[in-house]
Amino acid sequence: MRLRAHVVLIVIMGLSLGACRQADGPMPTPSEDVQEELDDVMRDLQNVASGRDPQARQDLADDLRKYTDVPSTEPAVDELSGRTATVLAGVDLAEQAAQRLAHSLWLSVVARELSERQMETLQDDVLSLLMAEGIAEDSAQLVAAQIGEVQGAVGARPRRWYELF
């Protein structure tokens, strides 16, 4: 009888602790208009990588900054743009990689309720994407880390008390 009570207690504790993780937030999906704007971001990324357009670095920053609705988040977004432009300089960036990177950068700026797990996944995706394009891991890590900073600035979802465990 006593063993049964211990087993029940262990099962209940296991279930309650398993339920304490932060729930995933909604992932934004780009509308048709936003998709066209993401094509602009993609072209900015390709122009930065190729070095064809000296204005591309500023265009990238401007295109990402327009998704910020709080002025205090702009420095973090500008830093993300700058780090991305720096690591992409001289890289032969494929169109598909540029599209994926543009989408990931957009997500990092517009997503307001990502869980820690979703944010880590986004950072890992960007890290692996940049490394697949031939960028050194330490340089790619700088961009991925800045995504975390941007999410810290734009994120509007507070952790609940039960998510602290």
Residue 64: its pLDDT value, please?
Answer: 94
Q: What is the pLDDT of residues 62-116, one digit of tens each?
A: 999 998 888 889 999 999 999 999 999 999 999 999 999 999 999 999 998 888 8
Contact 25, 114 (CB under 8 A): yes
Please give the share of the chain, as a percent, with pLDDT higher than 90.
Answer: 61
- 24: in domain: no
- 16: in domain: no
- 18: in domain: no
- 22: in domain: no
Query: pLDDT at residue 163 above 70?
Result: no
Kindly state the tokens that stand for 51: 């070095």
Rounded to the nearest angstrom, the gap between the alpha carbon of residue 150 and the centroid of all alpha carbons in its chain is 8
| Higher pLDDT pick, 6 / 85 | 85
- 11: in domain: no
Burial of 65 (0-12, 13-18, 19+ CB in 10 A): middle
- 102: in domain: yes
The whole domain housing 117 covers 30-164
Domain count for the chain: 1
Q: What is the pLDDT of residues 36-62, one digit of tens each?
A: 999 999 999 999 999 888 899 999 999
